[in-house]
């Protein structure tokens, strides 16, 4: 991955943009899109769009969500401590003891999520996992009035972890779920801008996926695509303590290429085209089976209007919904290339009627 692409990815990861508050990451994504796309805009819901080959056919939509899990301030007590509610799915064990960044009207306010020290816990308390409702944020305020000068009810916050590279081409950070996907769909569009696609391509960074696939629903309705490809992350099963999950999820490994999902959520012809393209272009890939709606933007795409020929291409990721999500940069590059080369093959005559 070149230096410019890495910086774009890092800027995405370092943006503070939990579900419903995606403005900072939208600014980064759109600035990059404007360097090559024919049309770039943000819709009323907050989804950001970049269009390539306007007027082409069929109409194809890429979706990668750029919201992340976080928290929201719901109460400020008399001593100035903040009480929070989750935005998205949190493991309470991960939330406790974290440093946080709070997005306020006046800028970033820093704090920590507090918890009763282990020395002061009873033996029974030590066996229990704290619930989110029992955790608070300490911003160093003197009292309620002091805290209210810095934050307001409803201010969103995220854990204070950014982009960092590890050995062997791996990178860690919060929000790879799914800034990695938002990165890939734009990189695929960038490649298609240099190719000769017949299709009109809409790369969309969607909002509010973590609270119900909300952005993909509205964006797809507006675009009305013939074909939709969602790019999300999926569970890598190549680390300790996975147990029977390997049998359930398949052996999914970092660095072994994007994961192409197969199941009822996926159009058979589009799946076959992705696999055929990967083989022809010598792009490494993995396959996962999902016998239901996938719980990703692919589900919203497939069920749009009268139905959309849909695929899900995923990036293997370790430690999902934690501050140290881990991916392979090679997988991101391979995923973008797979999307671009597949879409290049699609023409108005390509049929996606499954049988």
Question: Which amino acids are annotated catalytic?
Answer: 209
List, in sequence order, every residue forming a beta bridge with 50; answer none if it has no partner.
40, 203
Angle at the Cα of 65 from the Cα atoms of 27 and 133, rounded to 5 degrees: 100
Q: 151: closest CA among 104, 112, 201?
A: 104
Distances (CA, A) of 94 to 89, 201, 257, 320: 11, 38, 28, 11
In the block, tokens 């009822």 appear at: 264
Q: How far apart are CA 354 and CA 334, in angstroms?
A: 26
Q: How far apart are CA 329 and CA 7, in angstroms?
A: 12
Beta-carbon neighbour count of residue 180 at 10 Å? 29
Q: Are 252 and 234 in contact (CB under 8 A)?
A: yes
Residue 116 — φ and ψ, nearest 5°?
A: -60, 125
Angle at the Cα of 231 from the Cα atoms of 226 and 237, rounded to 5 degrees: 140
Q: How far apart are CA 94 and CA 162, in angstroms?
A: 16
Q: Are strands 39-42 and 170-173 parallel, antiparallel or unpaired?
A: unpaired
Cα 325 to chain center, whole Å?
11
Q: 312: closest CA among 280, 339, 279?
A: 339
DSSP 3-state assignment of 261? strand
């Amino acid at each position: 991955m070149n230096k410019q692409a890495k910086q774009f990815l890092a800027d995405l990861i370092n943006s503070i943009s939990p579900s419903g508050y995606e403005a900072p990451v939208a600014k980064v994504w759109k600035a990059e899109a404007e360097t090559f796309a024919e049309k770039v805009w943000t819709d009323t819901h907050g989804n950001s769009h970049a269009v390539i080959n306007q007027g082409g056919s069929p109409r194809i939509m890429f979706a990668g969500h750029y919201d992340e899990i976080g928290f929201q301030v719901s109460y400020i007590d008399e001593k100035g401590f903040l009480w929070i509610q989750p935005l998205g799915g949190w493991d309470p064990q991960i939330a406790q003891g974290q440093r946080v960044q709070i997005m306020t009207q006046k800028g970033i306010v820093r704090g920590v999520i507090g918890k009763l020290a282990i020395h002061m816990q009873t033996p029974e308390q030590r066996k229990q996992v704290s619930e989110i409702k029992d955790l608070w944020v300490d911003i160093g305020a003197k009292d309620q009035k002091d805290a209210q000068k810095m934050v307001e009810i409803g201010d969103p916050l995220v854990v204070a972890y950014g982009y960092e590279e590890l050995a062997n081409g791996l990178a860690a950070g919060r929000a790879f779920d799914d800034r990695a996907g938002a990165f890939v769909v734009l990189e695929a569009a960038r490649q298609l801008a240099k190719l000769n696609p017949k299709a009109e391509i809409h790369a969309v960074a969607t909002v509010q996926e973590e609270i119900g696939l909300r952005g993909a629903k509205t964006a797809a309705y507006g675009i009305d695509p013939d074909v939709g490809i969602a790019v999300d992350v999926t569970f890598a099963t190549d680390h300790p303590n996975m147990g029977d999950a390997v049998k359930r999820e398949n052996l999914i490994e970092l660095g072994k290429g994007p994961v192409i999902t197969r199941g009822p959520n996926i159009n058979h012809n589009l799946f076959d085209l992705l696999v055929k393209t990967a083989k022809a272009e010598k792009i490494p890939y993995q396959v996962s089976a999902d016998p239901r709606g996938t719980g990703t933007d692919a589900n919203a795409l497939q069920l749009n209007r009268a139905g959309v020929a849909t695929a899900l291409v995923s990036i293997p990721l370790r430690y999902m919904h934690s501050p140290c999500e881990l991916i392979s940069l090679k997988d991101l590059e391979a995923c973008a290339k797979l999307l671009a080369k597949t879409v290049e093959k699609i023409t108005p005559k390509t049929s996606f009627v499954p049988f």
